[in-house]
Chains A and B, each alone.
Chain A
């Protein structure tokens, strides 16, 4: 049985419908890629799953239907979300950003703590007390992922992890993703950089004009 199951998802902004009848699945321990042109609706799909915008459809995480849950409840179930625009709390330091994401460990999964996320993203360890406002885009991206991991998610919705990163950092990011996979975290990743994700992904979906088909 899939960990995350999405059936007949439709969503949009105000009157503008963006998604129609999206269907996708994410198995336990799987890394699945979601691709598509700019504006195809990738980010919207993740936001809709997360309950950040109004949506309709059958969504299930583990055994729990997500339809009536609010974003914070969905997050507490163990579904993490890393937005495309990072949304670091700029007034908070790196350590404080991590603290916001911190949640109790889940039975059966090794817990994430500061030491472990710093091992994954070494550059962050050197700037624990730096406020988010004074970090580069790449550093913020790492922090955004690290912050979500602090919640010990069973699955992560990861929006464009390599966007705007220098090639070296992209490689670091790919290594981090591989490490996540080894740790047993499922990942649904939106990615433009096909090379980046294709090496790691078990499967891929293509989203086009608001509907999804397997690649």
Chain B
């Protein structure tokens, strides 16, 4: 690449860094004060894009940018008042889930309001042409963005360091309780900071309009980029977000410039993983203080006593009789339920007793599914071999991601696992020649002896039943106890000779493998797979199932899966905007049953 081409790539990276910075700075500010990772921040960015494209014909470009930013800011403030304000005391996971529910709702809102097609926006008046830099054309608008990023940074910095409001924000970031004891009303502070964060995201989206079309996939793309930026820069640090946005912006620009746009995400992930391992709190971040009043110590999981075992045996017998009674539709639904029950139980295995809440568990489901499909279609392996070998791919993925994951905790862990899943997704999505790209793979049908719905149902019942039983058994065995010890008292566990990281790593790999088994079964039951199998929303489905059932219960997650799959099936049939409906249900559950259904029932009847 020539010198001038290099220069242009570099400038391109700077321009891209602008919107990265705007989104990440808002995310970081909000996290700093409220300790909430706002999953919906990418959705606010997307909303900013759509609103700007929508308004521009009527108001002109610049007014549209301004109005979009303000409308998104107001939305953010309303969301804080209506939802998040009720969740500041709730466990981290529930906060993440609630903001994810908002992602679903915003996306369906955009679908309803603006339709499924991408929308091209106008160019900025006066900035539509190119300038010549070192003999090559460069969009004038991008130069404006390059200047805008540092300007916003300086303004934001001045706001935070030169005004009383900014001082209060920084004080509350450090010690909310003490700020309150000095008479600072946090409510308005929090609403204000959410509004500001949303303003930045909305402005970022609106300003990106001349560079890219508004589309429904922007939300998750923006949020995973922003996650990478804040993790690299340090959560809660605005200068960190600025620096990291530059780094990531350049990484992206050069990957794309050299024609490797497919591996951008992978390179981002590597940058993030390296930073996290070397400086677990990011380049300019500070180690997070342990939250005041940290999680209460949970009672041990229940065990399957004789009565429960009997009940489960009866259930198994009932399930075995289902093909005699049910029609094909019921059998397909029941197979789905079994597969997702195993999936949910495998996530619970590492998330409950292991304490490692993975936000990308669908990656292993998807690896299992793609593994099975590829073995069948590309290697022409028999069904049985495909089913048996596919989970190994999931094992490999889980071992890789898990190696990093066990070094992290809390939101950092959530972001890393999410980013890993997003990479696996983008590989499946973009590697057309092998994975079939966005269309996925079709013709994944099992061998003739499994072709009937009832035969396949029996296979699923057998495999999932054994899988779930094994996982539950392991939780009551030394492996489960050491996992718990590592979660509740890592130092003490270490002192009595438990290699905590190793145990967690093994746990993570096991969980991934069982998710892979579920994935392989899933592929053959559907006959086709698409990247959606391992998308982020699918990972969140798994979290919802587990939380629905109750993290601190043994059998709850399986029931959560039953309820969730059934509910999704009903909703998808009856309601057009079923994603938003699921989002609303999740939101309601988080607000009403913070301990999950099984947890709630247990508490209710333990009295």
Contacts and interface: CB of A to CB of B under 8 A. Distances in A.
Interface string B161-188: 0001001101101110111111111100
A103 B185 CA distance: 12
Interface stretch (A69-77, A161-169, A171-179, A202-210): A69-77
Given A99-B164, A99-B167, A100-B167, A89 B181 contact: no
A148 B182 contact: yes
B178 A92 contact: no
Interface in A86-121: 87, 89-92, 96-97, 99-103
Contacts of B185: 72
B180 A72 contact: yes
Nearest to A99: B167
A81 interface: yes
B180 A71 contact: yes
A92 B167 contact: yes
Contact of B170 (A75, A89, A101): A89
A92 B171 contact: yes
B174 A100 contact: no
B182 A75 contact: yes
B325 interface: no
Given A52-B177, A71-B177, A147 B182 contact: yes
Given A87-B175, A89-B171, A91-B170, A100 B181 contact: no
B171 A71 contact: no
A92 B171 CA distance: 7
Contacts of B296: 14
A151 interface: yes
Contacts of B177: 52, 71
Contact of A103 (B167, B181, B183): B183
A95 to B, nearest CB: 9
Contacts of A50: 181
A83 interface: yes
Nearest to A77: B183
Contacts of A102: 164
Given A14-B296, A72-B185, A72-B186, A100 B180 contact: no
A76 B296 CA distance: 32
A100 B175 CA distance: 12
A134 to B, nearest CB: 15
B178 A83 contact: yes
Interface in A51-75: 52, 70-72, 75
Interface in B150-208: 164, 167-168, 170-171, 173-175, 177-186
A173 to B, nearest CB: 20
B331 to A, nearest CB: 48
Contacts of B184: 72, 100
Among B168, B170, B171, B185, max chain A CB count under 10 A is at: B171
Q: Give me the 7 closest cross-chain CB pairs, A-B, nearest first.
A: A75-B183, A71-B180, A87-B178, A72-B180, A100-B171, A76-B183, A81-B181
9 contacts: A52-B177, A71-B177, A75-B182, A92-B171, A99-B164, A100-B168, A102-B164, A103-B183, A151-B183
Interface of A: 14, 50, 52, 70-72, 75-76, 81, 83, 87, 89-92, 96-97, 99-103, 147-148, 151
Interface of B: 164, 167-168, 170-171, 173-175, 177-186, 296
Given A99-B167, A100-B171, 5 more contacts: A72-B180, A75-B183, A83-B181, A90-B174, A101-B182
